Amino acid sequence: MTYFYSLKPGHFKTYSTPFDSMWCCVGTGIENHSKYGDTIYYHNEDTLWVNLFIPSRLDWKEKGVTVRQETAFPRRDTTTITVSTKKQQKFSVRIRVPYWATKGAEVRVNGREQKVQAKPQSYLALSRAWKDGDRIEVRLPMGLHLYRARDDKGLGVVMFGPLVLAGELGREGMPKALCCTNNKRYSGDPVPPVPVLVTDSRDPASWVKRTGDKDLRFRTQNVGKPNDVSLIPLHELHHQRYTVYWKLL
């Protein structure tokens, strides 16, 4: 497990050993993932809230309704929700629209496009009489955007939808063994020079391009000094140096 990994530009992730690294997340951190199920859905008497996009099933016993969600989010920007009910009944389904969904949402019920208000940081609403087998298809188009450090606007993170992107910086000067009992063991090690991004405050969509349709891989375009960099989701990057917070000029 990797815990408390560095955001120092040019650093790398370290990992716990199987038995001797008693960092707090080696124990309690694992429990976090079992809690996602608590908040995927909420409901009251006549409204179902869909908060998280995770493959799951909800048995809404009070209504006699089962909801099944199928998705590959965040690798894909779509989710499908299927309603199973013994009788047709009316209730509202409210689906979360994240802050990064600035391009709106595409919603279809049984293949028919729905007109909905999809304001970021809110919930879109579908109110109707639902019958067995009804399918809701939602697409939340992802886009590139910057998150700037609160205490230094000259530092920024490149994001794609909800995903933090990290720059791949190779293995120069890295130790061979990345598993250790002290997660601060390498925190003071020197790091190689890290490129800066000369963007002139332009939208990242103009200087970052996706390099594959299936893989979430990106590359900066003519803004990296002394060189451009490849970007991938931070959680997918292992065993090499990386940068998350870039110096922006």
Instruction: Give the tens place of pLDDT for each residue, 105-127.
Output: 999 999 999 999 999 999 999 99
- The pair of three-digit structure tokens given for residue 193, joined into one six-digit string: 């020079």
Q: Which residues contact 23 (CB under 8 A, 6 or more apart)?
A: 1, 3, 4, 16, 183
As a whole number, the mean pLDDT across the chain is 93
What is the pLDDT averaged over residues 47-59?
97
The residue among 208 and 6 whose pLDDT is bigger is 208
Do residues 219 and 207 lie in contact, with contact meaning Cβ atoms separated by under 8 Å?
A: no
The CA distances from residue 34 to 8, 37, 60, 81, 225, in Å, are 30, 7, 20, 21, 43
**Which domain, by its residues, includes 217?**
143-247
The one-letter code for the residue type at 189 is: D
Do residues 142 and 77 lie in contact, with contact meaning Cβ atoms separated by under 8 Å?
A: yes
Say if 4 falls within a structural domain: no
Q: How many CB atoms lie within 10 A of CB 165?
A: 25
Say if 98 falls within a structural domain: yes
Say if 22 falls within a structural domain: no
pLDDT at 167: 98
41 lies in the same domain as 118 = yes
Domain endpoint, select from 90, 119, 139: 139
SS3 state of residue 97:
strand
174 lies in the same domain as 231 = yes
The pLDDT confidence band at residue 183, using thresholds 50, 70 and 90, is: low
pLDDT at 155: 96
101 lies in the same domain as 172 = no
Domain count, the chain: 2
Do residues 69 and 79 lie in contact, with contact meaning Cβ atoms separated by under 8 Å?
A: yes
165 lies in the same domain as 208 = yes
Indicate yes or no: pTM above 0.85. yes
155 lies in the same domain as 107 = no
Nearest CA-CA partner of 130 in 79, 93, 105, 97: 93
DSSP character at residue 248: B
pLDDT at 23 over 80: no
Peptide bond into 226 cis (omega under 30): yes
- The pair of three-digit structure tokens given for residue 10, joined into one six-digit string: 């040019």
